[in-house]
Amino acid sequence: MACRWKSVVFCASVLCAVGTAANSTANYSVRIPNVKSVGGAAIVAFEVDIAAGAVQSISNIPIGWYITIDNNASWQTRIKANSQLGSASLTPQALSKCEIVVRKNEFGDLKFQVTGTVSSTKDYREERQVHLSMGDFSVTPLR
């Protein structure tokens, strides 16, 4: 009988911990608002890495873009996106309209952070990469 009681206490404490973790999640809108184009270079790819978060949705991605999302179970998410045709490339203004809705879930030492890379080109032969830190993203809570 004592073993059964310990199992109930253990299960109750696990459920309380899971409930607490679930209550700490929140959804955020993530955008790349201020990428500078060098001499009219076209944006042909971007990559976004999210720590302590998972992608819920992406909107305003133009036709002609290929996107992969790896919502890893460890809450380390990666988005890779690139244009399939030169005519589908983006301006910085068009990229700033793309919105990623992210569920933030910090736990333990894992803190929410967004980083990434944007690739642009002038001639579609050579690409220039701009590395993005947390400060380069617009991250706003959703209600």
- Which pLDDT tens digit goes with each residue over 109-129? 999 999 999 999 998 889 999
pLDDT average, residue stretch 67-86: 95
Instruction: Domain ranges for the chain, please list them.
Output: 26-141
Q: In whole angstroms, give the CA distance from residue 1 to residue 17.
A: 25
pLDDT average, residue stretch 24-45: 86
Q: In whole angstroms, give the CA distance from residue 119 to residue 131.
A: 9
User: Rounded to whole angstroms, what are the CA distances from 85 to 40, 63, 64, 142?
Assistant: 17, 10, 6, 33
Q: What are phi and psi of 113, to 5 degrees?
A: -155, 140
Question: pLDDT value at position 38?
Answer: 64
Which CATH number applies to 26-141? 2.60.40
E strand spans, 6-90 = 26-31, 42-51, 53-59, 65-71, 76-83
Spatial strand order in the sheet of 42-51: 65-71, 76-83, 42-51, 113-121, 128-132
pLDDT bracket for residue 28 (50, 70, 90): very high
